Structure 1
Amino acid sequence: MTASPARAQRFREFKMPDVGEGLTEAEILKWYVQPGDTVTDGQVVCEVETAKAAVELPIPYDGVVHELNFGEGVTVDVGTVIISVDTDPGAGPAAAPAASAPQEAAPPAEEEAEPQGRQAVLVGYGAAPSSTKRRARKPQPAVPAQPESASAALQAELNGRATPTPMITPVPVPAAPAAPVAVAAATAGRPLAKPPVRKLAKDLGIDLATIAPTGPDGIITREDVHAAAAPAAAVAPAGAPVPVAVASAEPGTVDTAARERRVPVKGVRKATAQAMVASAFTAPHVTEFITVDVTRTMKLVQELKQDPDMAGLRVNPLLLVAKAFLVALRRHPEVNAAWDEAHQEIVYKDYVNLGIAAATPRGLIVPNIKDAGSKTLPQLAADLGELIATAREGKTSPAAMSGGTVTITNVGVFGVDTGTPILNPGESAILAFGAVKLQPWVHKGKVKARQVTTLALSFDHRLIDGELGSKLLADVAAVLERPKRLITWG
């Protein structure tokens, strides 16, 4: 049964929304409110992390926080209620909601005591199969109690004995301590644990049925799960003898389990891994390389830093690489395309949403600059600076990471010469920009020290053949070698 209409109207429930594009779950990173706090429509109440980004969620109600259904660090399915708000706190205590399970009449005072060893029931998980189920009580005829001595005499008479001493009497089993009873009840059915603890056990690969609970009424706690996941020596209680490891049958064998740690793959890292696997096994990749003298480009970077029109903007080699890539794409628009598997069509795009791969504490993300091909150099610099700053703060929105057409990854900032980048799913090409280093180079017939870099272009061979990919990469290199082509070709 559901709550009454009056209560449902007063207590408004806020469900985990789909903050991305078809995402099914999100992890609660941080709560900004607690039960009892006053909230207003549009106030941010929590921060969640989806497979694409971290997003702040505003509450659409005015009122007082009634309940937080999940703690921080818990992954919640889209559509699940995460917080409820009392929209009329001045109305006094709320009437009890209609029961979600059949209600029963209150027992008489003498029947209030629970049966020995009754199992605790967690909200949303029900009782274990072995739990005691209270039945509806029916009126019973009063039976006068007999003294213990009379019962013994009756038993002796039935057994043909003259003495009141019974032959054999049932011996009541003493009640076991609360914890062992709860353990037995829990192990007989589904182990008792709160949703966050179940999630933790799942992430760590621990079977709850193998854990001895230490919580009240046999509930498995987070500490129990961590203890089960840690090495035996680490979880031994203080003062208890530490078991001595048995020597390996093979001399020199090292126990590596104690020197390993496991981290659940979730959020951005999980999405990145899935996307890269899908891309690598869906789009046939081709990667080409070219080494180019970028001495003139590096000089132009220094000149632009002093230009009044670029004041306050982030000017670096990546900016000119991005501009060179956009110029080359304008000369070869067939590169800017996508493969439509469902309709078996190639979709050519007259706009360029330029993705920039950004490393963040939560993993690699690829936000993109919308319609980057129409931007002037100052506009591109402003958008690029804002994109990187937002990504490092972990505030990139899912919309900023959708709809990309091509991408640049700057591996040179890590001192790497080049690599074979994997396509961002759905995109046609990705350009890797390597480290710029001073190297001997033949310039005007003489060997001189020049600033040199290596570019690598990976592309989808369904869309781009070798000739087209080679022309695109050669044009990018040509612009970086002689940046005045930004004007003549742009």
Structure 2
Amino acid sequence: MTQDTSLRFREFKMPDVGEGLTEAEILKWYVQPGDTVTDGQVVCEVETAKAAVELPIPYDGVVHELRFEEGTTVDVGTSIITIDVAPGSGDAPAEAVVETPVAPAAEEAEPKGRQPVLVGYGVAETSTKRRPRKPAAGQAVPAQPAAEAASTYYPQAAAAAAVQGELNGHGGTATATRPLAKPPVRKLAKDLGIDLATVTPTGPDGIITREDVHAAAAPAAAPAPAPVQAQPEPAQPVAVAPVEAGARETRIPIKGVRKAIAQAMVGSAFTAPHVTEFITLDVTRTMKLVEELKADKDMAGLRVNPLLLIAKALLVAIKRNPQVNAAWDEANQEIVLKEYVNLGIAAATPRGLIVPNIKDAHAKTLPELAAALGELVSTAREGKTTPGAMQGGTVTITNVGVFGVDTGTPILNPGESAILAVGAIKLQPWVHKGKVKPRQVTTLALSFDHRLVDGELGSRVLADVAAILENPKRLITWA
């Protein structure tokens, strides 16, 4: 009895691991064809526009095929791996697919409609032939002309060729068609700066392979340079080193987190009218408190630094001025006041700037806030921040001081009304109690959405944060 491949081979599709995401890049495969997997086992890591996420497989079985290479960006809903859930039950088909059953009446000709084709070539809205059945053992495989094979397995490319042929007056036969190559090969050609139209294909049915691209990229043997004629001045000829193609430029695809950052920042900058205010202050007392807290047994094992007290100062300032913790609802023409504070902390990672947030930061004690900050930073550095950790923020802190920068004009996170930038803390001359003394000084910058935060409210918030950091006893009296 023939094994039903639709039951034996299961396709795992790229899920939407965020909210409304359309694509994700495969960063790393943890399995290879032939490996045994179990339900819930992580098989790959993907990067979305929000974060890097590990994907578990929902099947038990053996990996039959990895459909995409590492570094490939795949649309949500596209199959990325095939699992043989009944290994050893028979020979595997030439191509693991889940075919739609065809009614007996439609055995010879299938109805018009969408049919799956090689990824990268779209789908054809046309009547197509049924895929040839796998020949029995010892049965000869009927020859198929290359042109017919290409039109069968690449109908979109063939259709495009026919249209182009009509435009060129060749009666439906195009003089040139789109080169046939799989997405990983196209990416390789793009990275090497190779035009696929100039590559000679050696694969079956005229498909360009990775070897073809590498062969096209290999520099041709350069002819021996002509001898340089000696000139009166200078006495010795000057040798000019050849410049390799592309050596002066590096192109980085805009995708994943970087693409999301760019879209969000452009949307924020040109939607919310930004206003930024600055204040320079003496934080010597805060720095002393940081050192005392590091030695406190109640803070043992926790990350204690100036950012912790700055975060606490901002939370107290928001409690005193709750209108700054709000959002502008354009669709409903409403200002939404938040009764909670999800405090975002901008974190620089190898994949770009991300802003995870501490949920309900307003309700946390100082030790709890320190623990949450430590976990947030370590998770971000490891690249394990989840999409959920970056959703629902209400106000943000960005610490540009760690780079030695004095201040800046930060751009609001979309959906938030305020962001506080913290500059470098430096020892500077400062007038203290009527005398010029060396003091620890920093500059704060607060950007806010002027549609719902006017100058008075923004100034009060910034002044409150500064007052607390100048005299941290106010953390007790104002809280």
TM-score normalized by the length of structure 1: 0.78
Aligned-partner Cα distance in 2 for 1:465–1:131? 57
Aligned-partner Cα distance in 2 for 1:331–1:227? 68
| Percent identity over paired residues | 76
Aligned-partner Cα distance in 2 for 1:84–1:72? 16
Of 267, 274, 278 in structure 2, the residue corresponding to residue 289 of structure 1 is 278
Mapped pair 1:325 → 2:353: no
Once the 2 structures are TM-superposed, how far is the Cα of residue 93 of structure 1 from its aligned partner? 2.1
Aligned to 1:275: 264
Aligned to 1:163: none
Aligned to 2:409: 420
Aligned-partner Cα distance in 2 for 1:388–1:89? 44
Once the 2 structures are TM-superposed, how far is the Cα of residue 260 of structure 1 from its aligned partner? 1.2
SS in 2 for 1:426: coil
Aligned-partner Cα distance in 1 for 2:191–2:262? 17
Aligned to 1:198: 186
Aligned-partner Cα distance in 1 for 2:270–2:48? 24
Q: Is the 8 A contact 2:23 2:48 kept in 1?
A: yes
SS in 2 for 1:382: helix
Aligned to 2:203: 216
Q: Is the 8 A contact 1:203 1:264 kept in 2?
A: no
Deviations 1:238-260 (A, max 9, x none): x343899xxxxxxxxx9996411
Structure 1 unpaired stretches of 5+: 133-184, 245-253
CA pair 127-481 structure 1, distance change in 2 beyond 3 A = closer
Aligned-partner Cα distance in 1 for 2:336–2:357? 19
Aligned-partner Cα distance in 2 for 1:397–1:104? 45
Once the 2 structures are TM-superposed, how far is the Cα of residue 221 of structure 1 from its aligned partner? 3.9
CA pair 474-124 structure 1, distance change in 2 beyond 3 A = farther
Aligned to 1:247: none
Aligned-partner Cα distance in 1 for 2:182–2:331? 43
Equivalent positions of 1:139-218 (< 5 A) are: 188-201=176-189, 208-209=196-197, 211-217=198-204, 218=206
Equivalent positions of 1:80-119 (< 5 A) are: 80-94=78-92, 101-103=129-131, 112-113=142-143, 115=145
Once the 2 structures are TM-superposed, how far is the Cα of residue 220 of structure 1 from its aligned partner? 2.9
Once the 2 structures are TM-superposed, how far is the Cα of residue 215 of structure 1 from its aligned partner? 3.9
Q: Is the 8 A contact 1:48 1:55 kept in 2?
A: yes
Q: Is the 8 A contact 1:405 1:427 kept in 2?
A: yes
SS in 2 for 1:420: coil
Once the 2 structures are TM-superposed, how far is the Cα of residue 67 of structure 1 from its aligned partner? 1.3
CA pair 197-25 structure 1, distance change in 2 beyond 3 A = same
Deviations 1:114-141 (A, max 9, x none): 55x6686499634853999xxxxxxxxx
Aligned-partner Cα distance in 2 for 1:335–1:324? 14
CA pair 472-5 structure 1, distance change in 2 beyond 3 A = farther
CA pair 122-299 structure 1, distance change in 2 beyond 3 A = farther
Aligned-partner Cα distance in 1 for 2:53–2:437? 51
SS in 2 for 1:383: helix
Once the 2 structures are TM-superposed, how far is the Cα of residue 21 of structure 1 from its aligned partner? 1.1
Deviations 1:124-171 (A, max 9, x none): 634853999xxxxxxxxxxxxxxxxxxxxxxxxxxxxxxxxxxxxxxx
Of the structure 1 ranges 61-70 and 99-108, higher mean CA displacement relative to structure 2 is found in 99-108
Q: Is the 8 A contact 1:204 1:264 kept in 2?
A: no
Of 158, 163, 171 in structure 2, the residue corresponding to residue 129 of structure 1 is 158
Give RMSD over aligned pairs.
Answer: 3.2
What letter corresponds to residue 392 of structure 2 in structure 1? G
TM-score normalized by the length of structure 2: 0.80
SS in 1 for 2:180: coil
What letter corresponds to residue 236 of structure 1 in structure 2? P
Of the structure 1 ranges 14-23 and 187-196, higher mean CA displacement relative to structure 2 is found in 187-196
Aligned to 1:165: none
Aligned-partner Cα distance in 1 for 2:324–2:140? 83
Of 441, 444, 466 in structure 2, the residue corresponding to residue 452 of structure 1 is 441
Mapped pair 1:236 → 2:186: no
Once the 2 structures are TM-superposed, how far is the Cα of residue 26 of structure 1 from its aligned partner? 0.2
Aligned to 1:67: 65
Deviations 1:232-279 (A, max 9, x none): xxx523x343899xxxxxxxxx99964111111111111111111111
Aligned-partner Cα distance in 2 for 1:91–1:33? 22
Mapped pair 1:385 → 2:374: yes
